Amino acid sequence: MTENPPSRQAWVILVVGVLSQMAATIAITGPAFLIPYMHTDLGYTLTQAGTVAAAPSFGLILTLIAWGAFADRFGERLAMTLGIALTALASGIAVALVGSPVWMVLIIAASGAAAASVNSASGRVVMGWFPRHRRGLAMGIRQMSQPLGTSVAAVTVPPIAASGGFSAYLWFVVIVTGVMAVICFGLVKDPPRAEAVPSPVVTSTDAGQPGPTSARGESTASPATDNPYRMDSFLWRIHAVSALLVIPQFAFSTYGLIWLIANQHISVGIAGGIVAASQIVGAIGRLIVGGLSDRLGSRVGLMRVVAIAAVVFVAAIALTSLTPMPIVATVVFILASAISVADNGLAFASLAEAAGPHWSGKAMGTQNTGQFVMSALMGPGFGALITIFGYPLSFAFVAIAPLLSLGIIPKQDIDRIT
């Protein structure tokens, strides 16, 4: 059977999805790269600085599912345009409140709440425009936007803060997100909507109780309006796995810069470059893993490989923390950071396929909620761990998370879209 290639419109949507997610990521992760500035120039403790850095994540937690439902109901174009525009507006308001730390943190959290629209809607629109045999690659490319956005933040935010403080960083966010709001309004087009009729499920074995079966013994979905969370445990298990696997990712993205500076005695400029390089390598890794999942026909199988690798490399970071080894630390940190983000595209593709076209927005919102709950906890939580136990033992604790995920990953994928 001949497989139809993605349309030109699909690739345009993918490019816009990547750029919009990069803009949202800069707004969300940017405060993490202000931790050295807050710690040294403003005199914040690591716990205090981590709390400020986690503010956007707290905002995301409150709105991710709502934005996903909004995209399911009103379409991706409106969700992306409105959300990224509100991010720009909130960041602009925060400029006037820099002198009031509490209000500034609240407004930064509001900008994160608005940026949550892109997390849910951009993934949904990409999945809607690409056929199944290219969804893994498409989501791998789309998920590149987060490490790429983080790398841009790693390179730009520290010098911006050094020259102009919080205000300069906030104006940077206003410009980036404002431009993307215009682009989303002009170029995003909602994908064709599937009818709410029964559709086949490609695979369903180990994810929980299977749905009804056809005369050929294949599983078939209930009507598209039915809740896929009640059909089996697949979606819940992917949520749990992703929440565990994101712990190393946020440990590195939030405290990687200060670890390189304080623990490995690397200069601020070089450390920022190392973090940026790690994010670029991670972005390429997502692309490769996504394409490989299309070729192998398995998302969750590769997810298991990524989880095993995460255990190994986070443990390596813990060992490297015992003594300054700048060259070794650079190599290990880049590889560990890349591995820590490699599962995201696989998880989102699996979720969208298992949720079906009428529930994928809410599923992605739920997925991001779990991840950013962990992010919000990792801000002050990991800072407190480092203060009490030091870097080696703290990273050893982090390695437990991907180890636990190995017992939760389903053995086969489910597809309720095709």
pLDDT per position as a tens digit, 26-80: 988 888 888 877 777 777 777 777 777 878 878 888 888 888 888 888 888 899 9
CA angle 287, 288, 294 (to 5 degrees): 95
Map out the domains of the chain with their CATH numbers.
8-189+196-405 (1.20.1250.20)
Distance (Å) of CA 220 to CA 68, 230, 276, 328, 410:
25, 14, 45, 51, 19
Length of the chain in terms of residues written: 418
Encode pLDDT of 87-116 as tens digits: 999 888 878 876 666 777 788 889 889 998
Between 269 and 245, name the one with better pLDDT: 245
Is the pLDDT score of 210 beyond 50? no
Between 264 and 223, name the one with better pLDDT: 264
Sorted by sequence, the CB contacts under 8 Å of residue 411 that are 6+ apart come out as 205, 206, 207, 300
Encode pLDDT of 155-206 as tens digits: 888 888 888 877 888 899 999 999 999 999 988 888 776 544 344 444 433 4
Q: Chain-centre distance of CA 139, in angstroms?
A: 12
